[in-house]
Structure 1
Amino acid sequence: METGMITAATTTASTTPSTSSTAKNTLNQDSFLQLLVAQLKNQDPTSSSAMDPNQMVQQLTSFSSLEQATQTNSLLQGLLEKNQALFQAQAVSMVGKTVKVDGSGFSLKGGQASMGLNLSAAADVTLTVTDANGNIVTTLPEGNLGKGDQTLTWNGTDASGNQLPDGDYKVTVTAKSLSGAAVPYTTSLIRKIDSMAFNTDGSISLYSNGQAFSLANVIQVLS
């Protein structure tokens, strides 16, 4: 008899972890309602420990709030999906458009390149152009430029006057006032959108001559 009892106890203990491993770790609205019903069924109305009517009302109110929050989340998710689809449909119309994009650099093609510069105040501006390997190919003294938007151009020649191959070149801007203090500025690029891609995270990538940039970086649609 003792051996049988030990065996039964051992079997029960071995199956307990399996049962507990499948237990829910979260309390959803169905679980909440089940607990509330079980509490009402198992209490003695004549007992002093019975549920206070005020507490019951509070629990029912909590359940109602939970149900409403769940429905609201479902509605918001549906609206988000519809808005995203509408936004993507509108974004497609940007293919073929010329836009101003936040960024810097010269994209040389056919001996022509340009970059936008916006100065917070008048400044003496110098551009340092480097290739993909970080080598300085030329320095362009732009001279004194006024406050506001400027368009900087480059014909693609190096410091010795040699024509450089098409490609992307990095530009470092130095802008100083008459007193030698640094003048704040922003730079921008002019790009024609060839195509776009919708990313899994909801963002949109635009492509121009093989270069990718985010729709979030578009400052202005020019044409």
Structure 2
Amino acid sequence: MTTTSSVNSSTAALNNLTTGSGTVSDATAAQDRFLKLLVAQLNNQDPMNPMDNAQMTSQMAQINTVTGINKLNETMSSMVSQLLSTQILQSASMVGHNVLLPSNTLSVSKGVAAGAVDVGASADSVSVEIQTPGGQVLDTFNLGAKNAGRHEFTWDASAYQGQTVKIAVKASMGGKSVSATPMAVDTIQSVSNESGTLKLNLANGASVSYTDVAAIY
């Protein structure tokens, strides 16, 4: 009975370790329990029916592998945390700089709103419509024919009292619609860490991912 209990207990200890998702300290504690139970199993085994060497070797290999994986996971988590901290420190130097990113909201700064249109293919007409945040049309102008790519523009907002405007862009070739993406130039006011993701906080109140930035000025 003692041998059977030891076998079951050591197997359970190994299963807990291989299926768990705890820390390295948890894995070490489970490993210690497994080894103690394994020693007890060996001490109480039936001399006429000893424990299978292949089974014992397999269990030892499994516990060493899982312990190594747990340690690797903890090391990687620490490295990711350190990398994010380094990115935030480096990105702090971007505060005050302008960035270009996909957005239909432009900030008004010193009487000017700056943006861009990313045209998917050559177009013989590219138009920009300026709107209030509520959707009222303030102005419409045409950038003319443009090749595929990014094309910047500015809008004179000296007579506008608001802090932001919205834009709607259209592009066409021979009367057929061409894909066009509105883009905004905005100023980085601060950087932050949100759920492990580096975020840039802009003057227009938006918070965007660093990977969304198309250009930095």
TM-score, scaled relative to structure 1 = 0.72
What's the offset of the Cα at 1:53?
0.9
Question: Residue 82 of structure 1 corresponds to which residue in structure 2?
Answer: 82
Residue type of the alignment partner of 1:33:
L
Q: 1:45 aligns with which of 47, 57, 60?
A: 47
Residues 127, 140 of structure 1: 8 Å contact kept:
yes
Question: Residue 166 of structure 1 corresponds to which residue in structure 2?
Answer: 162
* Structure 2 CA distance for partners of 1:35 and 1:172, relative to 1, 3 Å: farther
Mark the structure with the bigger radius of gyration. 1
What's the offset of the Cα at 1:176?
0.7
Q: Map Cα deviations across residues 64-114 of structure 1 (whole Å, 9 max, x no partner).
A: 112211221222222222222222221111112232223233323443212
Residue type of the alignment partner of 1:134:
G
The equivalences for 1:118-197 within 5 A come to 118-123=118-123, 124-156=125-157, 163-178=159-174, 180-197=175-192
Question: Residue 198 of structure 1 corresponds to which residue in structure 2?
Answer: 193
Give the aligned CA root-mean-square deviation in angstroms: 2.5
CA distance in 2, matches of 1:106, 1:82: 34
Indicate the SS of the match to 2:206.
strand
Question: Where do 5+ consecutive residues of structure 2 fail to align?
Answer: 1-12, 18-26
CA distance in 2, matches of 1:211, 1:84: 23
Indicate the SS of the match to 1:96.
coil
* Structure 2 CA distance for partners of 1:168 and 1:34, relative to 1, 3 Å: farther
Identity %: 25
Q: Map Cα deviations across residues 178-202 of structure 1 (whole Å, 9 max, x no partner).
A: 2x22212333222232322333x12
The equivalences for 1:80-119 within 5 A come to 80-119=80-119
Higher helix proportion: 2
* Structure 2 CA distance for partners of 1:102 and 1:35, relative to 1, 3 Å: farther
CA distance in 2, matches of 1:187, 1:63: 55
Q: How many residues align?
A: 189
CA distance in 2, matches of 1:32, 1:182: 68
Higher strand proportion: 2
The equivalences for 1:44-83 within 5 A come to 44-47=46-49, 50-83=50-83
62-71 vs 143-152, which moves further = 143-152
Indicate the SS of the match to 1:45.
coil
